[in-house]
Amino acid sequence: MTDFYNGVLTKAQGDFISQSFANAKEQPISYYSLGLYIQDEWRATNKLKLTLAMRADRNSREICHHNCFSRLANPFGSIPHDSNGTLPYNLAVVTGLNQAFPN
């Protein structure tokens, strides 16, 4: 992969390129979103009305049941961005994750 990144592919050195395809046509991803809203009004006098409202939301993490998510192993700012190829791709990207976000 380093030779490919540097633009040097020679059959004599045993370089080859492979392409991978998805293991399943459909990737089951599940998540939920729940929202609650409560409101009440109380009229103390003809000129004074109190309104009390409360809202709560809960969103779950997206989960892939076939471990189809990938993400960078480290924050983007801490990954080397030079052209020397100091970080191999298999160390820069973590694959086979069931959650899209770490936290």
3-class secondary-structure state, position 55: strand
Neighbours of 15 (CB within 10 A): 13
Instruction: Flag whether 87 is in a domain.
Output: yes
Q: Is the pLDDT of residue 102 over 70?
A: yes
User: Nearest-CA neighbor of 36 among 51, 55, 58?
Assistant: 55
Please, are residues 72 and 92 in contact by the beta-carbon 8 Å criterion? yes
| Distance (Å) of CA 74 to CA 82, 84, 85 | 16, 18, 16
Domain count, the chain: 1
Task: Write out the residue range of the structural domain in which residue 84 sits.
Answer: 2-30+61-97
Measured distance between the N- and C-terminal CA atoms of the chain, rounded to whole angstroms: 30
Instruction: Flag whether 55 is in a domain.
Output: no
Instruction: Flag whether 6 is in a domain.
Output: yes
Instruction: Flag whether 9 is in a domain.
Output: yes
Instruction: Flag whether 90 is in a domain.
Output: yes
Instruction: Flag whether 73 is in a domain.
Output: yes
Please, are residues 34 and 53 in contact by the beta-carbon 8 Å criterion? no
Condensed to tens digits (0 to 9), the pLDDT of residues 23-82 reads 778 888 999 999 999 999 999 999 999 999 999 999 998 999 888 899 888 888 887 777
Instruction: Flag whether 49 is in a domain.
Output: no
